Amino acid sequence: MPTTARAKRPATRRTAKSSSRTNASQSRADRRPDGDTPSRSAKAKAPSKPRRTRTQSNDEKEAAEDGPTFADLGLSKATLATLDEIGFERPSKIQAAFLPIALSGRDCSGQARTGTGKTAAFTLPMLEKLDLDRKVIQGLILAPTRELAEQVSQEMKKLSGGRVKTVVIVGGRPMGPQVDAIKRGAQVVVGTPGRVMDLMGRGQLGLENIAFAVLDEADRMLDDGFRPDIEKILRKCPKDRQTLLLSATMPGEVEELAAKFMKNPAQVDMSEDALVATEMIEQFVLTVDPDRKFGALLHVLKQEKPKQCLVFTRTKRGAEKLYERFSRKLPNCAMMHGDLQQRKREKTLQAFREGQIRMLVATDVVGRGIDISGISHIVNFDVPEFQDDYVHRIGRTGRMSSDTNGRAITFVCRDQGDQLTKIEIRVSQVLPTYPLKDFEAARPVIRKTVQDHDATIIPVKKVTSPLFGGS
């Protein structure tokens, strides 16, 4: 008799605590998405958002009722006034735990899932300590991608009320305007390691006045091979600086870097509490046959009617092929991967942020740090290569800036059971099967008996349904 199939997992399961983290030095299918490369020697102000009433998890409700306010954390009146103006009412858990330590001047490393407010956790202490009368570079923030660097810069401008001069130093853009901004008195540099090293080598960027250094998404930077550049940059900074490190995961290589360049750092670990906050993101798995993945995606979109959807593929070519098929049916669809020109990537992200694009097909170039509140759904069209990538992908939805919880649906073929098991170990739960209606995403498994030799499978009819239910 035919039976409904699900991607087969290994018979033996491990507990979440027994699983090992992915080695950050392993290669990725879409390496160096920002186009910034390690140095050869190693061989607009963001608009304020209105206050939102978000669907809160139980932990968030408890924190809102019993947790500290920003005023309790020791922030200045000017900062508190800005936070009130932009609608920041209470700190998230990572902010409440991280801010007091950072404000005390102690080095600190923080681990928490993406979308929990890590950016404000390190920008607010920096803003409190900057001497706004000094027109020299006092703060340095290193980020793995151009998009994340730009986003951090915009967040700093918003949180400072425009009081701090920042400059974004990244590859893929002309050096001239970046150098001019430094000469005009920039106080904080937000950049990718490769371009920072480049300007340092040309004598256009000095770090002798750095009092505050931040490594944002440290695991990703090391994963992309930037460790030699990071170490050279930190050695050029004064030894009495304060160093903060933020990361969604904390593999051994990140811990080694912290031990080498941080002074007796405090550690804030929200990984178990917030890394995979399932009350904020509903997660599902859908077993698919490879030749039915596109049809399954069409039906998922029709059934879910997402506000905005981010569809992840593993490779650039996969993103291009999927986009080519969708662009004929869906005009407000776009594509993004590491080979696109920087101006095109920025334009696409801005259109997606403004809601002009309803579905974005992308590689893991968008899997880290990008905060777009309208993303309601994540679809992993391809299973991510590493389980940590899964955490970062689904972290694009259900974010603090969103007014709703998110939904994440992962397509898994029958021979990918091992990968599914690693993901489930990583998030400490067995993912439920997505209840797809009116479409057979995977052919039934036919189990023949001695008397049954003629079992057949009826082919699925061609999909002609309108996308997103015609909405």
List domains and CATH numbers for the chain.
58-274 (3.40.50.300), 277-470 (3.40.50.300)
Contact yes or no for 198/221 (Cβ under 8 A): no
More confident residue, 199 or 456: 199
Q: Report DSSP letters for 345-402, one per residue.
A: HHHHHHHHHTTS-SEEEE-GGGSSS---TT--EEEESS--SSHHHHHHHHTTSS-TT-
Q: Per this entry, what is the length of the chain?
A: 471
What integer pLDDT is reported at residue 210 of this predicted model? 97
Contact 216, 180 (CB under 8 A): no
Residues 6 or more apart whose Cβ sits within 8 Å of residue 333:
323, 326, 327, 357, 358, 359, 360, 361
pLDDT value, residue 208: 96
The DSSP bridge partners found for residue 216 are 246
Give dist(CA 376, CA 398) in Å, integer: 7
What average pLDDT score do residues 225-244 get? 96
How many of the other CB atoms lie within 10 Å of CB of 273?
15
Measured from the Cβ of residue 420, the count of other Cβ atoms closer than 10 Å reads 24
128 by Cβ neighbours in 10 Å (0-12 / 13-18 / 19+) ranks as middle
Q: Find out whether 30 and 382 touch, Cβ atoms under 8 Å.
A: no
* pLDDT the model gives residue 426: 80
Give φ, ψ of 443 to 5 degrees: -65, 145
Q: What is the pLDDT of residue 11?
A: 41
Task: Single out the residue of 266, 270, 264 nearest to residue 118, CA to CA.
Answer: 270
Burial letters 185-205, b for 16+ CB under 10 A, else e: ebbbbbbbbbbbbbbbeeeeb
Provide the 10 A C-beta neighbour count for residue 236: 15
Task: Identify the pLDDT of residue 115.
Answer: 66
Segment 323-335 shows an average pLDDT of: 86
**Phi/psi-derived region of residue 343, left when phi > 0, alpha when psi is between -120 and 50, beta in every other case:** alpha
CA angle 197, 23, 433 (to 5 degrees): 120
Q: What is the dihedral of CA 33, 38, 44, 47, to 10 degrees?
A: 60
Mean pLDDT across the chain: 80
Contact 381, 323 (CB under 8 A): no
Position 71, amino acid:
A
What is residue 181's three-state secondary structure? helix
Judge whether residue 169 has pLDDT over 90. yes
Q: Mean pLDDT over residues 43-47, rounded?
A: 38
Evaluate if residue 278 carries a pLDDT over 70.
Answer: no
For position 364, what pLDDT does the model report? 84
**Identity of the highest mean pLDDT range in 152-156, 186-190, 322-326:** 186-190
pLDDT tens per residue, range 17-29: 333 333 333 333 3
pLDDT interval class at 35 (50, 70, 90): very low
Please work out, in degrees rounded to the nearest 5, the angle formed at the alpha carbon of residue 278 by the alpha carbons of 50 and 98.
65
Confidence of residue 447 (pLDDT cuts 50, 70, 90): low
Tell me how crowded residue 376 is: count the other CB atoms within 10 A of its CB: 20
What average pLDDT does the segment 66-72 reach? 83
Residue 260 pLDDT more than 90?
A: yes
pLDDT of residue 60: 42
Residue indicated by tokens 């944002």: 216
Neighbouring residues of 321: CB distance < 8 A, sequence distance ≥ 6: none
**Sequence-ordered list of residues with C-beta below 8 angstroms from that of 320, at least 6 positions apart, any chain:** 335, 337
pLDDT in tens, 85-140: 998 888 988 899 999 999 999 999 988 766 678 889 999 999 999 999 999 999 99
pLDDT at 101: 94
> Residues 6 or more apart from 270 whose CB is under 8 A from it?
93, 94, 97, 110, 111, 112, 113, 116
Query: Which range among 64-68, 104-108, 240-244 shows the weakest confidence by mean pLDDT?
Result: 64-68
Give phi and psi for 271, each to the nearest 5.
Answer: -65, -45
- Phi/psi of residue 300, each to 5°? -65, -45
Lowest mean pLDDT among 232-246, 289-303, 435-449: 435-449
Strand, helix or coil at 287? strand
For the cut 60, the answer to whether the pLDDT of residue 469 exceeds it is no
**Is the pLDDT at 401 greater than 80, yes or no?**
no
Cβ–Cβ under 8 Å, residues 333 and 361:
yes
Task: Tell me how far apart the alpha carbons of residues 32 and 365 are, in angstroms, rounded to a whole number.
Answer: 8
- Greater model confidence, 139 or 387: 139
